[in-house]
Structure 1
Amino acid sequence: MKAMILAAGKGERMRPLTLTTPKPLVPVGGVPLIEYHLKALAAAGFTEVVINHAWLGQQIEDYLGDGSRYGLSIQYSPEGEPLETGGGIFRALGLLGEGAFVVVNGDIWTDYDFSALRRPLAGLAHLVLADNPAHHPGGDFALVEGQVFDGQADAPTLTYSGIAVLDPKLFAGCTDGAFKLAPLLRNAMAHGQVSGERLPGHWVDVGTHERLAEAEHLLQASR
């Protein structure tokens, strides 16, 4: 199973840091954010990783290289202009192969064990959902007996963590260009094709300076 890290965002809410540094290379505890994912993926047994990039993307390639120092083989999917989540993954499908693959948002910090995802996929997607953070109290989706639903009135919602396993068939009928992943997931949910799990550990969506500080705090506490 291959993995893809989404690293094409501009990180506008984290300026001035991201004016000269792509968000995945912003340090948390002295280590670039994306390195935590690479090390965790390698520890979980992954060997092949695809990384898309746009804003200051050459810096990502220059820093990470071919991935050999992490025990990985890294391929890159440059975009020029960001293609959003769905479009970025669709552009990279040729590098990801025909089987299901893991996708991870490059701007999160987590201690999640990625080895839990190395299992057969039932349906078109499997989502890892986190407890709702303060900045997103309404959540995204409901998790009921291992299935993920959109707008399930009688079930509490959780927040999509930015970690998933996707089947390339999820993108059937899509064309090259910028589009979001969420509508594809919601369509698959309507057909009972999305499973899920609740993230058991720590998770931070590092989208602002305040949340960067939160990730720093959690990292310090875990050492």
Structure 2
Amino acid sequence: MKAIIFAAGLGGRLKEITKDKPKALVEVNGKTLVAYAIEKLDYYGFDEIIINVHHHYQQIIDFVRKHYSQQKIHFSIEKEYPLETGGGLLKAKDFFDEKHFLAYNTDILSDIDLAAFYQQHQTEDLSSLACMQRESNRRFLTDAQDYLCGWENISSGERIISRKVDNMKTAAFCGIHIINPKIFEFLEQNQAVFSITKSYIELCEKHKIKAIDFSNNKWIDVGKKENISKAASIFR
């Protein structure tokens, strides 16, 4: 199975920590975030990976080639500027085949069973998103069957309803998704920089994108400086 690790972010929320190194090489308990991601994907049977890189990208490439030389790992280099998750995915599209694949943010740690997640994904769906019921300013809106119908930002008050339904629920995205390669037919081909979340919000009007709940699992966003020490205590 194939997977993409999103590792091209600037790490702006980590400030001085990522001044001279990429976010993917930030360590938790002596192990880099990209190492956590690679080893987790490998454990669950994702045996061919592409990593999109930008900020201090050569450091990531050198690290991976040194420590994971026996694994099938490729790189999608975004030299001029980061393309965000949507643009990064689109740039790497030739890596994927007709099989559904996994996308994984490098700045998260979780104990989510990726094999079980993959099995829960319905082949006719455009994407399945690992979500939780947790505090978050930005949340997907879903219908009674957990299919996306919109999005909201609690802080700004912004709300986008792509498909009107009664009794909408909310779900906070965990940065892990299973994607149907058919999605490339619908992504904004002429736009270089865009978020895959934005695309999901637009596409859910006519396509099935499901939020799958993992609220009983451990999860943390290590892209925030204050969460590094928390992550170290949670994932020992």
TM (normalized to structure 2)?
0.84
Amino acid at match of 1:161: C
Query: Counterpart in 1 of 2:85?
Result: 85
Q: Please state if 1:170 is matched with 2:183.
A: yes
* Residues 141 and 168, structure 2, Cα contact 8 Å, conserved in 1: no
Distance 1:68 1:59 in 2: 14
SS in 2 for 1:20: coil
Task: Give 1:146 deviation, angstroms.
Answer: 4.2
Q: How many positions carry a matched residue from both structures?
A: 217
Deviation at 1:142, TM superposition (A): 2.8
- Normalized against structure 1, the TM-score is what? 0.88
Q: How much does 1:44 deviate?
A: 0.7
2:234 maps to 1:218: yes
Q: Which of residues 217, 220, 223 in structure 2 aligns to 1:204?
A: 220
Amino acid in structure 2 at the alignment position of 1:214: K
**Counterpart in the other structure of 2:94:** 94
Aligned equivalent of 1:116: 116
One of 125, 133, 153 as aligned partner of 1:131: 133
Deviations 1:86-110 (A, max 9, x none): 0000000011223221001111111
How far off is 1:117 after superposition?
3.4
- Asked if 1:74 corresponds to 2:68, the answer is no
Structure 1 residue 145, shift from structure 2 partner: 2.6
The amino acid of 2:54's aligned partner reads: A
Correspondence for 2:197 among 154, 168, 182: 182
1:155 aligns with 2:168: yes
Q: 1: CA distance between counterparts of 2:189 and 2:172?
A: 28
CA contact under 8 A between 2:12 and 2:18: conserved in structure 1?
A: yes
Residues 97-130 of structure 1 deviation map (CA, whole Å, 9 limit, x = unaligned): 2322100111111111111233452221111102
Residue range with higher mean Cα deviation, 184-193 or 33-42: 184-193
After TM superposition, give the deviation of residue 79 of structure 1 in Å: 0.5
Q: Which runs of 5+ in 2 are unaligned?
A: 151-160
SS of 1:144's partner is coil
Structure 1 segments (4+ residues) deviating >6 Å: none
Q: Secondary structure at the residue paired with 2:223?
A: coil
**Identity of aligned pairs, percent?**
29
Matched letter for residue 48 of structure 2: E
| Worse-superposed segment, 17-26 or 195-204 | 195-204
Corresponding letter in the other structure for 1:207 = G
For the aligned residue pairs, the C-alpha RMSD in angstroms reads 2.1
- Which shifted more, 150-159 or 53-62? 150-159
